[in-house]
Structure 1
Amino acid sequence: MTPDIAIDIARQALWIIILVSSPMLLVSMVVGLIISIFQTITSIQEQTLTFVPKLIAIFIVMMLCGSWILKTTADYMIELYSSFSQYIR
Structure 2
Amino acid sequence: MTPEFVIGFAKQSIELALTLALPMLLVGLVVGIFVSVIQAATQIQEMTLTFVPKIVSMFIALLFAFPWIMEKMIDFTRNIFLNLPNYIK
Q: State the alpha-carbon separation in 1 of the partners of residues 81 and 12 from structure 2.
A: 14
**Where in structure 1 do 4 or more consecutive aligned residues deviate above 3 Å?**
none
Offset at 1:80? 1.1
Task: Work out the number of aligned pairs and report it.
Answer: 89
For normalisation by structure 2, the TM-score amounts to: 0.96
Q: 2:38 aligned with 1:33, yes or no?
A: no
How large is the Cα RMSD of the aligned pairs? 0.7
Q: State the alpha-carbon separation in 2 of the partners of residues 3 and 67 from structure 1.
A: 34
- Structure 1: gaps (5+ residues): none
Q: State the alpha-carbon separation in 1 of the partners of residues 33 and 20 from structure 2.
A: 21
Q: 2:60 aligned with 1:60, yes or no?
A: yes
Q: State the alpha-carbon separation in 2 of the partners of residues 61 and 73 from structure 1.
A: 17
- Structure 2: gaps (5+ residues): none
User: Where does 1:1-89 land on structure 2 (aligned, <5 Å)?
Assistant: 1-89=1-89
For normalisation by structure 1, the TM-score amounts to: 0.96
